[in-house]
Amino acid sequence: MPVLTWADLALASALVLIAMAISAWQRLGLARGFAIGAIRAVVQLVAVGYVLAFLISTKRWYLVLLTLLVMLIAATITATDRQKRGRRVLFVISGTSMLVGAGVTLAYVDAVVLRLHPWYDPQYLIPLFGMIIGNSMNGAALAAERLNSEMDLRRGEVESYLALGASPSRASAEPVRRALVASIMPTVNMLMVVGLVSLPGMMTGQIIVGQSPMTAVRYQIVVVFMLAGAVAMTAAGVALWYRRTFFTKAEQLVPRGITAARKA
């Protein structure tokens, strides 16, 4: 396998310059974002490389769990940062849902599928959790954003259900369903095209470093299955919990302009 030097990485950065040039040519206003993003990516990845090297060399379970906690908090902040309604409450909802969805998935893969020894082996646990939490984060953000949009769009419909005596869960069933479809569908699409349209990063990386293609395939199958389970659990947790913030204790819709945080 070719050894990449810093000079090789500098040559690879020319591809980002092409993206910046296209942005400037079409006046997209994204050149600055590309530049800052590229710099952040290099700094963050180098830092992660040193952290992973340290964790793998020390193999302390409490340091591994602390790293997973930091990743969870960062993912929760990212998932809720651009939400327009009740960020504080949504932070708790999204964080808890990701903790359950990603945590259950990682524990199952660790104990049942891979049977790691020790169970906290950072060489496997941290990369796997990174993939799981990244996809769960996207699922949580999509579920919250779509539910908020659907509840606003279907406000009259929900109020009609409530007026006819329906419970809040029944009145909001369709918005919740649409939010779940929107948040889970990208994962379904990924399952449909993996290996046919795209070769995922983990599989590609293993092949590049010399692993047998069939071994890489088996690991990738585990990865796509665990992502499907984690995203579905996280999205369901966010949508079903978040919808409660749209209703008062008297089972009425919260008036427009009153945020979930004020309601809570």
Residue 206 has pLDDT above 80, yes or no: no
* Per-residue pLDDT band at 261 (split at 50, 70, 90): very low
Handedness of CA 186, 73, 149, 163 (dihedral sign): positive
> What pLDDT does residue 244 have?
93
Residue 205 scores a pLDDT above 80 = no
| pLDDT score at 149 | 93
Q: Which tokens in the block code for residue 245? A: 């913030």
Most distant CA pair in the chain, distance: 69
Whether the pLDDT of residue 198 is over 80: the answer is: no
The average pLDDT across 238-262 equals: 81
Q: Angle at Cα 84 formed by Cα 82 and Cα 86, nearest 5°?
A: 110
Mean residue pLDDT of the chain comes to: 90
- Cα–Cα distance for residue pair 151/162, rounded to 1 Å: 13
**Listed residue (69, 231, 84, 227) closest to 144, CA to CA:** 84
CA–CA separation, 234 and 140 (whole Å): 6
Per-residue pLDDT averaged across 30-43, rounded?
Answer: 94
Give phi and psi for 57, each to the nearest 5. -75, -35
d(C-alpha 51, C-alpha 71), whole Å: 13
pTM confidence score: 0.85
pLDDT of 58 above 70: yes
pLDDT at 1: 59
168-197 average pLDDT score: 92
- Please check the confidence at residue 43 and state whether its pLDDT lies above 70: yes
Cα(138)–Cα(101) distance, integer angstroms: 13
Instruction: Give pLDDT tens digits for 97-114.
Output: 999 999 999 999 999 999
